[in-house]
Structure 1
């Protein structure tokens, strides 16, 4: 078991700290010799836990500590304002308050780690809001799959075919009318981020369920779709996985339905791409 206080005891002898971009980098970002400042950094590096994981990156900043005789004491690397790596442990440690160390650096002119941490926090909050919106628009019969669905983005693994089939069977039982089922799926698909690529993996799940539906039912659903469902239809049509079939899908739509989907395009590039496909019919 790792000694959670081992680094703190070692840093009690630190009188100087030098910051570099990462372990092995020769560029010095700052060199702090004020013992009060060094002590404040030691406090900022208090460890909350050593849970047994290792961050895949090399670290944002390397901190070299020196003792009173200016001899090297040890080096640690900070990771994303969350964890710390030290060769005294086989795994990374979670900081009790990681942002304190980044603020310590920022006050001394090394602002990029704190700036990136704040940007990452904003991205995380945006992603959380998007996920909550996506869950809120999920058809109620699939609510019990929420953790499984969201888990695909956390793990990076897609659902197995059997899991998709099980979800589809539950939808079909709750909504035997294909038009209602398709409309709900399209509305759900519209609640994602809207990106064609690079979106969270769980946002693909409505598309996977739509793939199991008949294209003529898709056409009927677009015909009666409101603005939200039309946005979902647009997203389905421009998805990379659907583009090989987009000609057949568009051919089944009436001119009015094609115009409705085209009007749902959020940007000129998407609108231009889809308009070209319609013109080829």
Structure 2
């Protein structure tokens, strides 16, 4: 075995190996960056339709949430129900009736009158300190719980354990209501974004197919891929906005107002995209000639 005792040759070899390793690392990083850029570019291309779909659905749902959680927007029959809930005689004033209504989790109230009626169907407004023991009819002295639990208790004060169980029932109902609302809005947002992207993608790729830049099978594949990506993005965006609305229902109106500029921005981008499609068509078919 021949051993190279020349220090200069040894150093030169090491330098060359280091340069080669550095070049390989740089190539790997460049490949990763290019792959990430491709993903981002693809998302940006479908972003307008996603933004429009998500913005429109989120705005609609957010304003609906903001409207539903207000007592004065309830049908008169439901207002009367909360004014009479748990009362032996007479009725509460409007302020106390509103407080009883607001003791229902906001996530349930956000779904509107029908959801509120369904919630109240198997529940009583129960006195925490029993009426016969001096408990008042003010909203602070009551909680909604299953009617059979309340009626079986009779004229006895609620224990701390019973109060905790009633609160858990409300929390579970609130969670289920929030999940149902978010899933429904997410599906709507995904469909809206997918439909918008489907139209644009068909137009864009059909022109490329006419030019011979892609085949018919590639046209179908690209349309399907773009539509799926837009649908996923639109659904995710809508779901995030509605999740915030359901966690913090009182600020739904603000989030609805924030969603509107998103939709406007998306429409602006779509206008640019539509103009580009028109210009492309004009070059191919001489529409303006």
Q: Which of the pair is proportionally richer in strand?
A: 1
Same fold (TM over 0.5): no
Task: Give TM class, smaller chain.
Answer: under 0.3
Higher RCO structure, 1 or 2 (CA under 8 Å, sep 6+)? 2
Larger Rg: 2
Q: Which of the pair is proportionally richer in helix?
A: 2
